[in-house]
Amino acid sequence: MFVELYKDGSKSNHFEVSLVDRPSKITVEPSGEALFLHWDATVDDSDRLRQCIICSNDLYRERSFPKITGVVIVLAFAGGIAGVAGFLTTWSMFSAVVLVLLLDLAILFLDKPRLVCYECKTKFKNTQIAPHFDPWDQHRADQITRSKS
């Protein structure tokens, strides 16, 4: 699993860690600082993350390509309008649709969902994600903020 640490909203350090070995202490790159990881109740029986190993808080699932997905939708919509309005020939219409379809497929293959911590914003990549994780939820984020203060 690849872990990216965030500080004040920007990426600070990162490290690679095995969910099977579960080392209690790790050295982060590029600062070289030592970091202690929480493995108690944060990993399930199938070696998948359950909670944040940095601060033991809840995680949410995030897609890695939300912006391109939006572009594809806009492209498909624009293509449809242009086709209806008669600006496009059958062939250019056809190639536009194929292009959009290919883009969509590429995103499907390239999109690697990751887990993000509500509290410390740490991102966990290249890891198996248990199906019970939901996308970011305002209600849950509020609950965590409230329990902190």
Residues that bind Zn ion (CB under 5 A): 52, 54-55, 57, 117, 119-120, 122
**8 Å CB contact between 62 and 113:** yes
* Residues whose CB is less than 8 angstroms from the CB of residue 9 and which lie 6 or more positions away in sequence, other chains included: 121
Strands 59-62, 10-16: pairing is unpaired
Q: Which is nearer to Zn ion, 122 or 127 (CB)?
A: 122
Q: In whole angstroms, what is the distance from residue 21 CA to residue 32 CA?
A: 20
Q: How far is the CB of 2 from Zn ion (least distance, A)?
A: 15
Q: Which is nearer to Zn ion, 37 or 97 (CB)?
A: 37
Q: How far is the CB of 3 from Zn ion (least distance, A)?
A: 10
Q: Which is nearer to Zn ion, 72 or 119 (CB)?
A: 119
Q: In whole angstroms, what is the distance from residue 144 CA to residue 141 CA?
A: 5
Q: How far is the CB of 58 from Zn ion (least distance, A)?
A: 9
Q: Which is nearer to Zn ion, 26 or 103 (CB)?
A: 26
Q: How far is the CB of 128 from Zn ion (least distance, A)?
A: 19
The interaxial angle of helices 90-110 and 66-85, nearest 10 deg, is 170
